[in-house]
Amino acid sequence: MDECGDAGSTQEIPGILHLDMDAFFASVEVRDDPRLRGLPVVVGGAGARGVVAAASYPARTRGIRSAMPMASARRLAPDLVIVPPRIEHYRRISARVMELLGDVVADIEQISVDEAFLDVRGARRLFGAPEQIADLLRRRIREELGLPSSVGGSVSRAVAKIASARAKPDGLLIVPAARTAEFLAPLPVSVISGIGPKAQEALDRIGVRTIGQLREIPRSALARAVGPRAPEILALADGSDRTGLGHRTRDKSLGTERTWDEDLTDPAEVRRCITQMADDVARQLRRGDFVTRTVVLKLRAPDGTTITRSSTWDQPTSSGERLREQVVSLWERERSRMRRVRLVGVRASHLEPAAGTPVQSELTARAAGWQDLEAAMDRALERFGTHSLGRGSTLSAADGAQRGPADPVPDPAASSPGHPAEDGPHPRERGGR
């Protein structure tokens, strides 16, 4: 999967991921008009002073890059396809990407319209090792939004970002802690975000072009070349930087949702589906040793109208029985307004670790019994797979449920930050897949 060996070979988990959409604006345009696939496509102003905002990978093989004057791009590719930007459209898709990431990972820092850092160390118990989580995220973005993305992973943010650029397009590259120095050594110093053109020139004058060379020179020489940021740059250069995410930690939550190709019109079927999802969510909670205080039901009608309704308990729980009761009663309240349903989601939020949660004194014997039974079902499911056991009333929903294609209905626009200045390298290599 990656060129850096087994990620499990060291103690420290390379659990900081950087996900960045490939040729984001251009990929959206190609997705929306498949005739553009494989062509040199750019998004940007077509006028005399137009500039390239995004270039598809076929355009890049012709030397076309973001920020290039459109006139130069046209010279490089006479058959260039120029698409005018649809910023609001990209913003909505960006919000969908971030929402999708938030379904899996609680710690996210969005740093531009198409990229985010994710700290997946806490998500491991639920979703597996960083590479499995990265695979899951990339697959879901591909399946649900029809777009390619790349992920880099490391113990450090800086290295994760460098790795995602090396993985592009459509790749994954996880750098295990023990292989960090080896990964960085041959790369040009310009991939370090603290090194601008001036510092690069100064280093070049003393014969330093790669990160490996940078690490060899005396600190005094480095300080002369790059100024007071030398220690910080050195930390980035040897991968010892441990800056955490710029904490915009979101509420921990987990959930599941499904979109149907054809509307659900039978209330009994919706109810079965919701019940099944509540069971799934409860099982995920128990697998991660979490309990929840809040369960959220999301419903979307065919015209895009979306409602979310939540219900909160005093005592946290991971009981499927309790989740089912609540979401079903939320559904009963809404069903007269939602006669046709396109999407159903169930989510548990405000998660807390189960360990240390006081035993619920008000638990009835029946509820406690349910929890024991559910724990036994979890064990059986783990041994025999997800279809070996289920409560009779929910099996048919599982069989009938399908994941629909990319949801055509835009979510209400969530604002996303503008594009920051970036000084990373342009990707040159294919990732490991």
Q: Which residues bind ligand TTP (CB under 6 A)?
A: 20-25, 53-54, 66-67, 113-115, 168, 419, 422, 427
Which entry of Mg ion, ligand TTP, none binds 321, CB below 5 to 8 A by partner kind? none
* 196, 423 contact by CB (below 8 A): yes
- Residue number, 353 or 425, with CB nearest to ligand TTP: 425
**Residues facing residue 18 across a β-bridge:** 117, 152
Q: How far is the CB of 68 from Mg ion (least distance, A)?
A: 16
Which entry of Mg ion, ligand TTP, none binds 258, CB below 5 to 8 A by partner kind? none
- Residue number, 170 or 238, with CB nearest to ligand TTP: 170
Q: How far is the CB of 73 from Mg ion (least distance, A)?
A: 18
Q: Is 170 labelled a binding residue?
A: no
Cβ-closest position to Mg ion: 115
Q: Which segment (13-21, 196-204, 240-248, 367-375) binds Mg ion by CB under 5 A?
A: 13-21
Q: How far is the CB of 25 from ligand TTP (least distance, A)?
A: 4
Q: How far is the CB of 2 from Mg ion (least distance, A)?
A: 20
Q: How far is the CB of 115 from ligand TTP (least distance, A)?
A: 6
Site string for Mg ion, 84-123 (x = CB under 5 A): ----------------------------x-xx--------
- Residue number, 345 or 427, with CB nearest to ligand TTP: 427
Applying CB under 5 A, which of residues 2, 20, 131, 280 lies at the interface with Mg ion? Answer: 20
Total number of residues that touch Mg ion (CB under 5 A): 6
* 107, 122 contact by CB (below 8 A): yes
Which entry of ligand TTP, Mg ion, none binds 25, CB below 5 to 8 A by partner kind? ligand TTP
Applying CB under 5 A, which of residues 17, 21, 81, 123 lies at the interface with Mg ion? Answer: 21
Q: How far is the CB of 24 from Mg ion (least distance, A)?
A: 5
- Residue number, 115 or 374, with CB nearest to Mg ion: 115
Active site includes 131? no
Is residue 103 packed enough to be buried (19+ CB in 10 Å), middle (13-18) or exposed (0-12)? Answer: middle
Which entry of Mg ion, ligand TTP, none binds 29, CB below 5 to 8 A by partner kind? none
- Residue number, 33 or 251, with CB nearest to ligand TTP: 33
- Residue number, 18 or 258, with CB nearest to ligand TTP: 18
Q: Which segment (19-27, 71-79, 99-107, 173-181) binds Mg ion by CB under 5 A?
A: 19-27
Reduce the secondary structure of the chain to three states and give it as a string.
Answer: CCCCCCHHHCCCCCCEEEEEECCHHHHHHHHHCHHHCCCCEEEECCCCCCEEEEECHHHHCCCCCCCCEHHHHHHHCCCCEEECCCHHHHHHHHHHHHHHHHHHCCEEEEEECCEEEEECCCCHHHHCCHHHHHHHHHHHHHHHHCCCEEEEEECCHHHHHHHHHHHCCCCEEECCHHHHHHHHCCCEHHHCCCCCHHHHHHHHHCCCCEHHHHHHCCHHHHHHHHHHHHHHHHHHHCCCCCCCCCCCCCCCEEEEEEEEEEEECCHHHHHHHHHHHHHHHHHHHHHCCEEEEEEEEEEECCCCCEEEEEEEEEEEECCHHHHHHHHHHHHHHHCCCCCCEEEEEEEEECCEECCCCCCCCCCCHHHHHHHHHHHHHHHHHHHHCCCCCCCHHHHHHHHHCCCCCCCCCCCCCCCCCCCCCCCCCCCCCCCCC
Tokens of 249: 């930690």
* 366, 273 contact by CB (below 8 A): no
Q: Is 20 labelled a binding residue?
A: yes
Applying CB under 5 A, which of residues 2, 14, 18, 24 lies at the interface with Mg ion? Answer: 24
Q: How far apart are CA 320 and CA 210, in angstroms?
A: 55
Which entry of Mg ion, ligand TTP, none binds 48, CB below 5 to 8 A by partner kind? none
- Residue number, 168 or 300, with CB nearest to Mg ion: 168
- Helices 87-104 and 130-145 sit at what angle, rounded to 10 degrees? 140
Catalytic residue of the set 109, 115, 131, 374: 115
Q: How far is the CB of 55 from ligand TTP (least distance, A)?
A: 7
State the binding site: 20, 114
Which residues of this chain interact with Mg ion, rule CB under 5 A? 20-21, 24, 112, 114-115
Binding residues for Mg(2+), as ranges, are 20, 114
User: Which residues are known catalytic residues?
Assistant: 115
